[in-house]
Amino acid sequence: MYVELNSILNSTPDTFTQGEFILVSDRRSDASFLIHHFLSFYLRARCRVCFLGLVQSFSHYSAVSQRLGVSLTQAKEKGQLIFFEGLKESLSVLVPRDANGASPAINFLRDPSVGLRSLYEFVRSSLSSFNSREKAADGAEEWGPPVLLVDDLSVLLSLGVSVGAALDFSHYCSATVCSQLQGNMVMLVRCDGEEEEEDEGSDRLLKGLTHQCSLSLHVEGLPTGYCRDIHGQVEVCWRKRRGEGLHTQKKLFQYKVHDKGASFFARGTSSTVL
């Protein structure tokens, strides 16, 4: 959890807006450090978290979270965290060894044209089961609202899933998690090309998701080129619906990632420059 980012977003583990869809995106950069922030933030806020880790192993997230002061293994044991390890599950589809198959959530790998319905069912059943368990047992812990984290959505496009299916998936998830269960959702989308190339898959996905989200953080490299001490810039955009219209507010920050966190500062105020 990065303290400066909390003050930029005006949220703390004790007070944060519910029902938010936060879109984290990057263009030719790497915004995964923000996913680690949100993971440790919501675990500290005692929320029930469902994490779809599609690009890294569990031990990677665990090692980084350890440095940020949160133990994923403990959270999993307590039942606070449900972790879906995409890489491990995919092997049972791509290199089938024995008869017992993989989790049905990874079915889209067998036939991408089918879409992501089974993955959505997995998310829905994981987060809804928190509800029933909480009410049933007396000694169960009181957890906060449910949270869905996805790292990252654009890898599904590389595996053959269509943009439409990915947009449907995020729409269904936001309807369930944000509107129905009053929880939060954070998704990471990674793009590569220039902004003018409109037909590219992940750009279309990004555009579609930007319309659905209520807060977006877009990470890019510095427009002036590569710099070792300033890793890039983050554009934070709040999209609030007020009455009939949509009110957006944008702010731009620069950031630097270091071993135990990331620091954010206004443009031009990096400590190496001053």
Partner 1 sequence: MILKYFLSEGVVCRHELFVATAQDDPDDILQELPAPILDDVAIHKPLEQPLLSCEPSNSLDAMKIAWRYQNLPKVQSALASSSRFGHYYDVSKTMEPEIRQAAKCHRFYLPEHPTLSSPTHSPVLESYSALLKSLQDIIHKEGFDVAAPMSRPRNILRIGLHSLGSALWGDDLTCHDNPAHRHALTTFLYGLRALLRSSLAVAVVTVSSHLIQDRALMGSITRLCDNAIALESFKGSERETNPLYKDYHGLLHVRQVPHLNCLASQLPDHKDLAFKLKRKQFTIERLHLPPDLSETVSRVSRGEQAGAAAVASACGSGTSGNKHLDF
Q: Which spans of this chain sit near partner 1 (rule: CB under 8 A)? A: 28, 30, 33, 36, 55-57, 59-60, 63-64, 67, 87-88, 90-91, 93-95, 97, 109-113, 154-155, 157-160, 190-193, 197, 200-202, 226, 228, 231, 257-262
Q: Compute the least distance from the CB of residue 59 to partner 1, in Å.
A: 7
Cis peptide before 192 (omega within 30 of 0): no
Quick one: three-class SS letters along the chain?
A: CCHHHHHHHCCCCCCCCCCCEEEEEEECCCCHHHHHHHHHHHHHCCCEEEEEECCCCHHHHHHHHHHCCCCHHHHHHHCCEEEEEHHHHHHHHHCCCCCCCCCHHHHHHCCHHHCCHHHHHHHHHHHHHHHHHHHHCCCCCCCCCEEEEEECCHHHHHCCCCHHHHHHHHHHHHHHHHHHCCCEEEEEEEECCCCCCCCCHHHHHHHHHHHHCCEEEEEECCCCCCCCCCCEEEEEEEEEEECCEEEEEEEEEEEEEECCEEEEECCCCCCCCC
Output 36 or 218, the one with its CB closest to partner 1: 36
- Assess contact for 256 and 270: CB atoms under 8 A: yes
Output 64 or 219, the one with its CB closest to partner 1: 64
Q: Compute the least distance from the CB of residue 110 to partner 1, in Å.
A: 5
Output 76 or 88, the one with its CB closest to partner 1: 88
Q: Compute the least distance from the CB of residue 94 to partner 1, in Å.
A: 4
Q: Compute the least distance from the CB of residue 61 to partner 1, in Å.
A: 9
Output 86 or 183, the one with its CB closest to partner 1: 86
CA–CA separation, 131 and 153 (whole Å): 26
Q: Compute the least distance from the CB of residue 116 to partner 1, in Å.
A: 15
Q: Compute the least distance from the CB of residue 138 to partner 1, in Å.
A: 38
Output 91 or 175, the one with its CB closest to partner 1: 91
Output 65 or 214, the one with its CB closest to partner 1: 65
Report the chain's C-alpha Rg in angstroms: 19
Q: Compute the least distance from the CB of residue 106 to partner 1, in Å.
A: 11
Output 177 or 234, the one with its CB closest to partner 1: 234
